[in-house]
Amino acid sequence: MDTLTYEIKGQVAEITIESPPANALSSTILADLNEILNELDAEKSLKAVILKGEGKFFSAGADIKEFTEFQGGKENMSFKGQAVFDRIEQFHAPFIAAIHGAALGGGLELALSCHMRFVTKKAKLGLPELGLGIIPGFGGTQRLPRYVGDAKAYEMILTAEPVSGEEAVKIGLANGAVEEEELLDHVRKVAASIAAKSKPSVEHVLRLVPNVYESTLNAGLKDEAERFEEVFRTDDAAEGVQAFIEKRKPEFRDK
């Protein structure tokens, strides 16, 4: 692949977008990302995936030139992008976006499909599509309000004005903001902390949190109780409880 690379270290994978100068999301990048997801999906021991960009940006948007070749129906680039981003959101291990420089347009929509986002303080995050006479098409109108609320989402989309990394944290769009030289180390520490947990527990949490948007409270609580019982019967749960009693770190075997 010419546009993306990935490597696996222990139970954490790192995907890097390498398409200078802007890491713009082209149909080729979407296809390559989909192929990487196929390969990582087979790595069932993975507990976290870091997504980052090489060069000056995380991703400064979608490839606008390709939009001039717009095709309708299933060839619509919007459908293609949404399908890939849905896979990220539903992946069996959490995705963590490490955002520096800019995450704009499709780049922000890609980050929104991740489970967590960490940014540099001076990064720019926004959806500038209305400035081009178009609208977000990779899920921005649906995912952004879930993090920042309807009013802020309207403001960001309708004005097409980006927010800084520091403001992104304040409005709930990002988990944390650090200096650029600290970003990768910080994100890797977060990923390592997740990787130290039991795989069954991590997977169940990934299935439960989306219930907030997709089901009623009662249905979500019922699902949580059922999954709690299932997890409590695992070997890792027994190990975790015993380790707590013995005041030591648990040694999970992901069973």
Q: Specify which residues 119 forms β-bridges with.
A: 99, 177
Would you please indicate which residues are annotated as catalytic (active-site) residues?
109, 129
Q: List strands edge to edge, sheet with 124-126.
A: 102-104, 124-126, 163-164
**What tokens does 149 get?**
């609320």
Q: Specify which residues 98 forms β-bridges with.
A: 52, 118
State the distance between the two ends of the chain, measured CA to CA, in whole angstroms. 34
Tell which residue, 60, 64, 71, 73, has the closest CA to residue 23: 60
Cα–Cα distance between 169 and 115 in angstroms, integer? 14
Q: Are strands 116-120 and 95-99 parallel, antiparallel or unpaired?
A: parallel
Half-sphere exposure at residue 87, Cβ-oriented, CA atoms within 13 angstroms? 16
| 3-state secondary structure at position 54 | coil
Half-sphere exposure at residue 190, Cβ-oriented, CA atoms within 13 angstroms? 21
**What tokens does 28 get?**
């080729």
> Helices 140-148 and 150-159, interaxial angle, to 10°?
130
